[in-house]
Every structure is written in structure tokens, then in C-alpha cells.
């Protein structure tokens, strides 16, 4: 059993060379990064609503899930850019037409 002081060096600091049973590098998962981004941007939005009178948004700022996609060439990159650029206007047009 590893005790809480097993990784301390003789000066009481953490000894990176004495990490029993633990990988040296722990990288965040993509989902962790997305969650962090959503949290930070939501908190920034709330702060600016309260301090700088940004318009209040009633609803969810973020979708629950996300969709990841590997862009493999210039054609796919352009398609994704066009989608991001044009999709908000398509939604506005759909709402105006009652869809």
C-alpha cells in the first residue's frame, strides 16, 4: 500500500523519480478539455452579464455533448468552415419560415 508520504524526497518535496505505480505524464482527455472550455466560457459570460450588462441568454449556452471530427484535407476543412460560418443564418431563416 502506498502511503501519502511515499513520494516525498528527503526535503519534504515531491519526488518525480519515486512515483510507484503511477504514469509519469497524465494528459487530459478531449472530454475534459471540452468541459473545461465550456465551464470557463460560461463563467466569463455570466460575469459579463452581471458586470457589463451583456444580454441575458435564457436557456443552455452549450450542448450537452460535442461532436469531434478529424479534418483530413483542405476540402474537408473548407466544408467545416463554411458550415460554421453559414449555420447560424440557416437557423435564423428556418425560424423565420416557421420550421
Contact residues for 56 (Cβ-Cβ < 8 A; gap 6+) = 49
Count CB-CB contacts under 10 A for residue 73: 8
**The pTM is what?**
0.48
φ and ψ of 83, to 5 deg: -65, -45
Q: Which band of pLDDT confidence, cut at 50, 70 and 90, is reported for residue 9? A: low
Domain boundaries, the chain: 69-99
DSSP 55: P
pLDDT > 60? residue 5:
no
Span 54-68, pLDDT tens digits: 999 888 888 887 777
24-73 pLDDT per residue, tens? 678 888 888 888 999 999 999 999 999 999 999 888 888 887 777 788 99
Instruction: Return the SS3 of 69.
Output: coil
Predicted confidence at residue 22, as pLDDT, reads: 57
Amino acid at each position: 500500500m502506498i502511503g501519502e508520504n511515499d513520494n516525498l524526497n528527503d526535503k519534504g518535496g515531491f519526488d518525480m523519480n519515486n512515483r510507484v505505480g503511477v504514469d509519469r505524464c497524465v494528459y487530459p482527455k478531449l472530454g475534459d478539455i471540452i468541459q473545461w472550455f465550456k465551464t470557463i466560457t460560461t463563467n466569463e459570460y455570466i460575469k459579463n452579464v452581471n458586470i457589463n450588462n451583456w444580454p441575458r441568454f435564457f436557456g443552455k449556452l452549450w450542448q450537452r455533448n460535442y461532436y469531434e471530427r478529424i479534418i483530413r484535407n483542405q476540402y474537408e476543412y473548407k466544408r467545416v468552415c463554411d458550415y460554421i460560418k453559414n449555420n447560424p443564418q440557416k437557423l435564423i431563416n428556418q425560424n423565420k419560415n416557421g420550421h
